[in-house]
Amino acid sequence: GQSPVKIMKETDGFVLNRLQYAVISEAWRLVQDGVISPRDVDIVMSEGLGMRYAFLGPLETAHLNADGFKGYCERYGEGINRVLTTFGSVPDFTGKTAEKIDTALWEDLPNKDEQLITRREWRNSCLSHLAKLKK
């Protein structure tokens, strides 16, 4: 279900992981700062951004949300920059926030071993169906 892309320059980490790490880092900061719960972060992604990103990437999404990508930058660039300056440093991914997120995610899976396997199977099935839908 994945498509090849051309990497034009060497960088640390896979591109997919780099994008994922950016999202995880901000999710971490939002939970750490008490802005949102771990569960609600996942809802924002699965029922918000994730829905559109299954079909369009972030750049095309911006392109379609205005009169082209340049129009998007002109319209929203100042606000984006203002928000980006509040992101802060890279999280260390340890301590109380790690425990808070871990605890919240296990609440939905009280029988850890069995339910974790079931949840992974559900995820894989959903991804398989989505891949078929995209063809």
CA distance 27 to 30: 5
Q: Considering the domain boundaries, does residue 100 fall inside one?
A: yes
Q: What is the mean pLDDT of residues 78-92?
A: 96
Q: Considering the domain boundaries, does residue 27 fall inside one?
A: yes
Q: Which helix (H) or strand (E) holds 123?
A: helix 112-134
CB distance 32 to 91 below 8 Å: yes
Phi, psi of 46 (to 5 degrees): -70, -30
Number of domains in the chain: 1
Q: Considering the domain boundaries, does residue 1 fall inside one?
A: no
CATH code, domain with 26: 1.10.1040.10
Q: Considering the domain boundaries, does residue 99 fall inside one?
A: yes
Q: What is the pLDDT of residue 114?
A: 87
Instruction: Identify the band that residue 110 occupies on the pLDDT scale cut at 50, 70 and 90.
Output: confident
Q: What is the mean pLDDT of the chain?
A: 94
Residue 23, pLDDT above cutoff 70 = yes
Compute how many other C-beta atoms are within 10 angstroms of the C-beta atom of residue 25. 16
CA distance 134 to 49: 17
Domain that holds residue 65: 15-134
Q: What is the pLDDT of residue 32?
A: 97
Compute how many other C-beta atoms are within 10 angstroms of the C-beta atom of residue 88. 11
Residue 42, pLDDT above cutoff 80 = yes
Whole-prediction pTM value? 0.88
Q: Considering the domain boundaries, does residue 63 fall inside one?
A: yes
